[in-house]
Amino acid sequence: MIRKKLQNITKSEKLKAFIQKSKVSKEFLAPTRKMISRGVVLGLFIAFIPMPMQMAAVLVFMPFFRFNVPIAIAMVWITNPFTMPPIYVIEYYTGSFLLGSKIGEVYMSLEWFKDNLNNIFIPLYTGALFYSISSASLAYWAVTYFWKRSVHKEKNIHPSKRQAS
């Protein structure tokens, strides 16, 4: 269903006019399985890394990789101002566990973060790397699986019913 919606959106005249006006390459907006899955992977990978300007980081990768840019930017917003604190705390605890280091008490305040940055930096980024790789890998598998399943399901529909939808 999402696949159909994406294909319908890309046929929109308004979108075509915007692409022509802004001179964005059409390949960065392509609704193909490979482009969507690459966008999801890159967006999720960057989303779990604690850094400022995550959306700009997605744009930095445009010359090097081909992916659906709007999907990648949307995936980055999984870590938004409301979800960042709990995600980063979980990443810190996971990184501390993986490294076998002592876990200190965590307070959700900017002052605590500034005071303890040297102590939490390596465990935080270790946990971030763990979640970035695992979520991106799982998402790639899920997008590919459900996309192929959708195509297979659509091919099994009788041709007369396929044209009606």
Token match 């501390």: residue? 96
pLDDT score of 6: 61
Spans in the chain with pLDDT lower than 50:
none
DSSP, res 102: P
- In terms of residue numbers, what domain contains 107? 2-164
- Rounded Cα distance between 156 and 30, Å, is 25
**What 3-state DSSP class applies to 109?**
coil
Q: How many domains does the chain have?
A: 1
* Phi (first) and psi of residue 64, to 5 degrees: -100, -30
- Rounded Cα distance between 52 and 30, Å, is 27
Residue-wise pLDDT tens digits, 144-157: 998 888 888 877 77
**What 3-state DSSP class applies to 79?**
coil
- Rounded Cα distance between 77 and 64, Å, is 22
Buried b / exposed e over 23-53, threshold 16 CB at 10 Å, is eeeeebbbbebebbbbbbbbbbbbbbbbeee
pLDDT score of 8: 59
User: How many other CB atoms are there within 10 angstroms of residue 66's CB atom?
Assistant: 16
pLDDT score of 101: 85
